[in-house]
Amino acid sequence: MRKNSVLSSHGTRKKVRAYLVATQAKNTQLAYQSDIAHFLKSGGRIPATPHCVASYLAVHANTLSLATLSRRMVAIGHAHKDKGFASPTRSALVTDTLRGIRRINGSRQRQVMPLLKTDLVKITRKLPGLIGLRDKALLLIGFAGAFRRSELVALQVEDVRFVAEGALIRIRRSKTDQNGIGRNVAIPYTNGRHCPVQALKLWLQKSGIRTGALFRRMNRFDQVTDYGLCAASVALIIKQRVAEAGLNPKQYSGHSLRAGLVTSAAKAGVSSWKIRQQTAHKSDVMLQRYIRDGQLLHNNAVSKIW
């Protein structure tokens, strides 16, 4: 019996492969590629034995975070699956080694400092030039929308709609929305010179951007290019601007804007469900880390009895 030419064609196989690749976000794919490259550079191979993977974990237990090691295990597992091999990461030797590392080194992840509203106002008070307008709009919008850096750099002019009360910004896809359902984030006008909506309007007006990437790279002549910022650029901009304001750049990252909105809102007494409305967290569990840390000195037991 003749094979179905449609189902067996090379073009169809390529399409299947493309859809399989699309099940992972681009940033995840890049992270996995980097993870596998590090594993191979360290003497690993595909297929690998459980002893090989466990040895890799032991060698890097004190130089890589537990989160990174765990992600490396996922990447190694995917690499074996893609090539039709059984994954050594599921073996008792590997899982027990990772469990031992967690017990000895602890599982607490590094927490970056939240960029609070008071510090943000200080940082964006005097940013010179067109690049200063871009960074001010980027920082204020990133904070007000509680955006991840990947969400910020993915924004297009067409995703922004200015309304009487402020701006509605469309997030087409995010870390927790890999299917691209999307959501709208409302950013209202605020009083003062540090209104996120006004800062964004001024950036668009002065840059002359009418379509395409919202936040773009600048050349050495302070001119706007056609290329959008990458996620790493957001972290670098934050570090540069906090350093200029006298803060320690090592304590801040691209996540500091999102953490800053949550912490600042919690300090101001905003209810958790209203905060989640802005951040799109599914529950209060993830919020509690920011809220708890942000309120350690607020209504502290010592201040009540001293």
CB 225 within 8 A of CB 216: yes
For helices 129-144 and 231-244, what crossing angle results, to 10°? 110
Q: Which position among 90, 161, 175, 292 bears the catalytic label?
A: 175
Tell me which H or E stretch contains 185.
strand 183-188
Q: Which position among 136, 239, 241, 281 bears the catalytic label?
A: 281
Q: Which position among 290, 292, 298, 304 bears the catalytic label?
A: 290
The whole-angstrom separation of Cα 303 and Cα 295 is: 13
The answer to whether residue 255 is catalytic is yes
The tokens describing 256, both together, are 């500091």
CA separation (Å) from 96 to 17, 26, 281? 34, 31, 32
* DSSP helix/strand/coil, 262: helix
The answer to whether residue 32 is catalytic is no
The answer to whether residue 281 is catalytic is yes
The answer to whether residue 148 is catalytic is yes
Neighbours of 237 (CB within 10 A): 20
Q: Which position among 117, 134, 148, 216 bears the catalytic label?
A: 148
Residue labelled with tokens 């200015």: 162
- Could you check whether the bond before residue 50 is cis, i.e. omega within 30 degrees of 0? no
Q: Which position among 72, 117, 134, 255 bears the catalytic label?
A: 255
Q: Which residues are catalytic?
A: 148, 175, 255, 258, 281, 290
